[in-house]
Amino acid sequence: MPFVNATDFVKRLLVGRKLSSAQLGETLLPKRIALPVFASDALSSVAYAPDEILLTLSLAGLAGLAFSWEIALAVGVIMVIVVVSYRQNVEAYPSGGGDYEVATVNLGPTAGLTVASALLVDYVLTVAVSVSAGVQNAKAIFPFIAGSEGLWAAGLILVLMAMNLRGVRESGTFFAVPTYAFMAGVLTMIGWGLFRILVLQEDLPAPTADFSIVGSPDYEPLVGLAFVILMARAFSSGCAALTGVEAISNGVPSFKEPKGRNAATTLALLGATSLSMLAGIIALANLTGLKLVDPDGHSHFVDQAGNPIDYHTTAMGQLAETIFGAPSFGFYFVVGATLIILFLAANTAFNGFPVLGSILAKDGFLPRALHTRGDRLAYSNGILFLAMAAAGLVLAFNASVTALIQLYVVGVFVSFTISQFGMTRHWTRHLKDERDPVARRRMQRSRVINFMGLTGTGVVLVIVLVSKFLYGAYLAVAAMIGVFILMRAIRAHYDKVARETAVGPMDARLLPSRVRAVIMVQEVNKPTMRAVNFARATRASSIEAVTVSIDDAETRAIIAKWDSQELEVPLKVIASPYREVTGPFLNYVKGLRSDNPRDVVCVYIPEYIVGHWWEQLLHNQTGLILKTRLNFLQGVMVTSVPYQLASSQYAIDRAKRNTAAAWRRPGSGQVRIGVPSDRTKEQ
């Protein structure tokens, strides 16, 4: 017990005190906190999306950089279309399902799972890319990081995980200051730079203004097919600025009332801020003569004499040095805020992934453990799963942004396109039944907006797939397919178990002739009915069923099903404001022992017997914990009786084969009963 108390103390120290379910309203976010919570990913994209545009265009030398305006304008148009389109999404579907719900309701479960697969993969990549970008930038200040970038990135992911386990509001309040500092620093730099150049007519050349660029021979001359390919690559790289927009539609439940309106307002603020920053950075880059080259050597700087120059830095760093001077407070403020926001961009995924995972778990497509909230009313299991997946990714790629960025963007545009198609179907479906002229005009306007979103994001998706597929996007596509197949398999398993355990007409009344096992479950199904009948057959002094209420809707459903069976066994409901099952149940059993110390309490716990190792991850977790804890209570008997699912036959057959093989194995020392061994025969 002291070990348990010490463990709980450490947990409280890291995560904080428990929050009751009644305190959920206290964790909801106002717009001023929701903006940094859900916008850090999209805002941080502004820190590297202009770089990606300029780096890609540099492959064609100075001729390519001349098109940065056009590429930035095209990205800006898509950003406006996506933001305006998603405002329709959050107002029409404020439940938090986001693109998954839109696609499922309007296009069917297959489309919904496709969107969910894309988003889950993209959230993991968001964490990996953002933290890796921050680590790569941090090497300029902390050179000792070089060589172990993956380990540092994994450590930072664990820190972000710990922060988010403390709850959405608490982590959002912590991250709000650096996010707003980044916005203020970049917008001030843009405003002051444009004022000095356009109003004061100052000449502000960037550090690379006098350099020339030698590009890749693949894009010289920049005409014909080479021009089309380069523009497509630059555009798809610049579209990284749109990542994170979808997180708000998945996080609507975290907003204060009115949720849909507040989410739409936050989305508009995000779009306006991101667009202003992207346009301002590209404008300053052109006005100051800023240039970037590919760090992998596909393009490089040369001086006026044609000598190569080794100079690699970011657009944000060059602009801060040009506008504020280096060293100066403004320079360090902008560079420092940019570095921090790259790390914090991962926080958007830590808020979007667990909510989406909870919805998918509720629908049976992910393990049910992802559906429940933790001590701090955050979806703790989803946060842990995301952190482990992202940490594994940065360790595998050693936090290489160049390698990871090729996998990025694909998933988010898959969800964008399918979602906008679903919203177009949504308005078309509702227009068939709507007769109010004012409402019809509003729906028609919304349908036009979402159709424009479908067209724009669909075109971008094709461009991204074509231009990035061979550079690594195929890995992201393969991951999405794998996640899709896994979720379908989990749902098929849960459906199969539900069919096996469904209550039949006689299940509640058939008494066994002998009691050999007792099963207790947290649902009204065949194992529950068998457990009740076994308990009645033992002729106990008193019999009662106990359920722990962690979700009001589910508890009401259990009570209704229980009453429908017309059982003679009363059902007692234990309230659990902190959503624990084991703690309240153990306290109830202890109370029975303390009231009657000479009595023996027999606790019946159900256990599914399965045939595959992976099925153990989907069942028996609560029962395993209860058995372990109850075994330490004096005067309490624990009876665990297996309920064999159909898949258990595989384990039985496997055991028979292993036993037969052991008998046949020479020198095994095993002798089958009734059959003489070879040594006996010889004697």
pLDDT tens figures, 146-187: 778 889 889 989 888 887 777 655 555 666 788 888 999 999
What type of residue is 211?
F
| Per-residue pLDDT, 587 | 83
Q: Determine phi and psi for 604, rounding to 5 degrees.
A: -100, 125
- Residue 683: per-residue pLDDT: 32
Q: Could you tell me how many residues make up the chain?
A: 683
Tens-place pLDDT, residues 620-675: 677 778 888 888 877 777 776 667 787 777 767 766 766 665 555 444 444 443 33
Q: Assess whether pLDDT exceeds 60 at residue 27.
A: no
Average pLDDT over residues 16-27: 52
Backbone angles phi, psi at 609, to 5 degrees: -100, 120
Q: Residue 197 pLDDT more than 90?
A: yes
Mean pLDDT of 511-534: 61
Model confidence, pTM: 0.69
Identify which has the larger pLDDT, 250 or 271: 271
274 Cβ neighbours under 8 A, 6+ residues apart: 39, 42, 43, 45, 46, 79, 241
| Predicted pLDDT of residue 344 | 77
Taking alpha carbons only, the member of 507, 530, 502, 558 closest to residue 639 is: 530
CA 313-319-325 angle, 5° bins: 105
Angle, CA of 408, 469 and 55, to the nearest 5°: 60
Q: Report whether pLDDT(511) > 60.
A: no
Which range (100-109, 540-549, 554-563, 631-640) has the least confidence?
A: 631-640
The domains of the chain are located at 22-492, 526-645
What sign has the CA pseudo-torsion 80, 180, 251, 347? Answer: positive
Residue percentage of the chain with pLDDT more than 90: 12
- pLDDT band for 676, please (50, 70, 90 cuts): very low
- Provide the pLDDT confidence category of residue 66 given band limits of 50, 70 and 90: confident
Task: Please tell me the distance from the alpha carbon of residue 576 to that of residue 622, in angstroms, as a whole number.
Answer: 15
CA distance 410 to 469: 9
Lowest mean pLDDT among 236-240, 560-564, 571-575, 664-668: 664-668
Express each pLDDT in 265-298 by its tens digit: 888 888 888 889 989 999 999 899 888 887 665 6
Residue 554 has pLDDT above 90, yes or no: no
Peptide bond into 143 cis (omega under 30): no
In this structure, of 84-93, 274-283, 483-492, the range with the lowest mean pLDDT score is 84-93
Asked if 43 and 271 count as a contact pair (C-beta separation under 8 A), the reply is no
Q: How confident is the model at residue 240 (pLDDT cuts 50, 70, 90)?
A: confident
Please name every residue paired with 607 in a beta bridge, in sequence order, or none if there are none: 642
Pair 247, 274: CB distance under 8 Å = no
Out of 99-103, 165-169, 435-439, least confident range: 165-169
The Cα 473–Cα 499 span in angstroms is: 39
Q: What are the tokens at 581?
A: 């099952």
Cα(601)–Cα(149) distance, integer angstroms: 56
Confidence check: pLDDT of 611 > 80: no
Please give the C-alpha separations between residue 293 and each of 138, 203, 369, in angstroms, as whole numbers: 20, 23, 47
Residue 192 has pLDDT above 90, yes or no: yes
3-state SS track over 120-157: HHHHHHHHHHHHHHHHHHHCCCCHHHCCCHHHHHHHHH
CB 519 within 8 A of CB 530: yes
The pLDDT score that the predictor gives to residue 571 is 83
Q: What is the pLDDT of residue 97?
A: 66
Q: Cα(659)–Cα(1) distance, rounded to whole angstroms?
A: 41
CATH class of domain segment(s) 22-492: mainly alpha
Do residues 231 and 57 touch, judged by C-beta distance below 8 A?
A: no
Task: Tell me the average pLDDT of the chain.
Answer: 78
